[in-house]
Amino acid sequence: MKMMKKLAALVMALALMVTAGAAMAAVVEPDDTDIEHFAGLTVNATVGAYDENSKTFKVTLYDFDRYDIDDVERAQVGDILLADGRLFKITEKTENPSGEILFKTEDGYEIYFEQVGEGLEARLMDDDRMLMHAFAVLDLPLADGAVYEDNSDPDLEKAVTYTGLDEILKIKKEKEETSIGFDFYSTVINLNSNLEIERIHQNYDVAQ
């Protein structure tokens, strides 16, 4: 009798494990970053706080979310998408006439995928913003003669340029008080061979 009870309990436990496994949603994740070396890199970045002692900025580097085509094509309603550093539950999946796949998510976002090279990159439908994820946080100094190019005003024909640490700190503070600061969606930095920031370039972003 005890043996029968143990057997029944084992069967029930196995059934619960199978049920739980079947209920688990698949997760669509971006591939690892293709970036191998920081020296000479041009990359989207958030340029954060400046440390007077080390004379470095706290810089978070971002890369585009790139996906394996098969992973996106296999995704189903109820699955989870990891994009822009967040989790989205897929509530609807469609494909437009040009072949781009669109996910509608539980929290109201619409994310579509376009082919770039051998993979797919993700964008938000409402503002066409590329989705990215952070891959490194570094403390980086400015190079001698470093410049900040402000191209965030769509009414200006060319960027306004600021040179040197003092000018860059001044405009950075102003941007943080009135707008989004040196945020990765709109900001790209260039690193030289010594991993110093030699250029900060900022474009217009819808969040401004």
pLDDT digits (tens, 9 = 90+) for 90-117: 999 999 888 899 999 999 999 999 999 8
Integer distance in angstroms from the first to the last C-alpha of the chain? 72
Mean pLDDT check: name the lowest of 15-24, 66-75, 163-172, 188-197: 15-24
Q: What is the pLDDT of residue 99?
A: 82
C-alpha span between 123 and 6 (Å, rounded): 53
C-alpha span between 72 and 88 (Å, rounded): 13
Tell me how far CA of residue 102 lies from CA of 8, 77, 156, 165, in angstroms: 46, 11, 34, 44
Residues 50-90: pLDDT tens digits? 999 999 999 999 999 999 999 999 999 999 999 999 999 99
Strand ordering across the sheet containing 197-203:
132-140, 56-64, 42-51, 187-191, 197-203, 142-151, 160-163
Give the pLDDT mean for 2-26: 46
Could you tell me which residue, 156 or 195, shows the higher pLDDT?
Answer: 195
| pLDDT exceeds cutoff 50 at 182 | yes
Q: What is the pLDDT of residue 5?
A: 41
| pLDDT exceeds cutoff 90 at 35 | no
| pLDDT exceeds cutoff 60 at 11 | no
Query: Are the C-beta atoms of residues 120 and 64 closer than 8 Å to each other?
Result: no
Phi, psi of 60 (to 5 degrees): -105, 125
Measured from the Cβ of residue 146, the count of other Cβ atoms closer than 10 Å reads 21
Give the pLDDT mean for 138-151: 96
Does the pTM of the predicted model rise above 0.75? yes
Q: Quickly state the pLDDT bin for 198 (edges 50, 70, 90).
A: very high
Q: What is the pLDDT of residue 10?
A: 38
